[in-house]
């Protein structure tokens, strides 16, 4: 089964660091970009950035660049989202999502077709 499995919920204090993970299964991990999406409770989806596991090339939304870091360990098929200093405003659910692929024509597209189950991050003093 094609799936993305994310790490469990985290409770942290402001100023602490954190890394959450997203492990791919059932597909060749290095051939798909992995995106990260934030959802603050009661709010909408926000695209944070994406990584190409082949060469670790990353793109970030201007809203998140400099505050988070996206990386990957392709040897274990896992992507990461990392903070060096959390803020209370980072409290949210974080999803990883795979770049879409139409297998009938061998075409990668910008939509996100497979999503992780989400990781809840709570930052509170």
Tokens of 46: 């926000």
Query: Residue 113 interacts with another protein (CB under 8 A)?
Result: yes
Closest CA to 3 of 114, 77, 112, 99: 114
* Cβ-Cβ contacts under 8 Å for 55 (sequence gap 6 or more): none
Query: For residues 11-50, which are near another protein according to CB under 8 A?
Result: 35, 37, 44-47, 49-50
Residues 88-107 that bind another protein (CB under 8 A): 95, 97, 100, 102
Binding test (CB under 8 A) with another protein, winner from 7, 23, 30, 59: 59
Return the number of the residue (42 or 125) whose C-beta is nearest another protein. Answer: 42
Cβ–Cβ under 8 Å, residues 70 and 60: yes
Say whether residue 66 binds another protein (CB under 8 A): no
Closest distance of CB 67 from another protein, Å: 15
55 binds another protein (CB under 8 A): no
The Cβ-side half-sphere exposure at 19, using a 13 Å CA radius, reads 9
Burial of 98 per CB tally in 10 Å (0-12, 13-18, 19+): buried
Binding site for another protein (CB under 8 A): 35, 37, 44-47, 49-50, 59-63, 95, 97, 100, 102, 109-113, 115-118
């Amino acid at each position: 089964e094609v799936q993305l499995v994310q790490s469990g919920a985290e409770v942290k204090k402001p100023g602490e660091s954190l890394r959450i993970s997203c492990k791919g299964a059932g597909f060749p991990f290095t051939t798909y970009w992995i995106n990260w999406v934030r959802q603050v409770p009661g709010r909408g989806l926000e695209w944070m950035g994406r990584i190409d596991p082949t060469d670790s090339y990353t793109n970030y939304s201007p809203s998140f660049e400099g505050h988070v870091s996206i990386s990957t360990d392709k040897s274990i098929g896992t992507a990461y989202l990392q903070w060096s200093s959390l803020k209370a405003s980072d409290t949210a659910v974080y999803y990883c999502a795979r770049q879409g692929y139409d297998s009938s024509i061998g075409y990668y597209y910008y939509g996100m077709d497979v999503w992780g189950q989400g990781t809840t991050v709570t930052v509170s003093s």
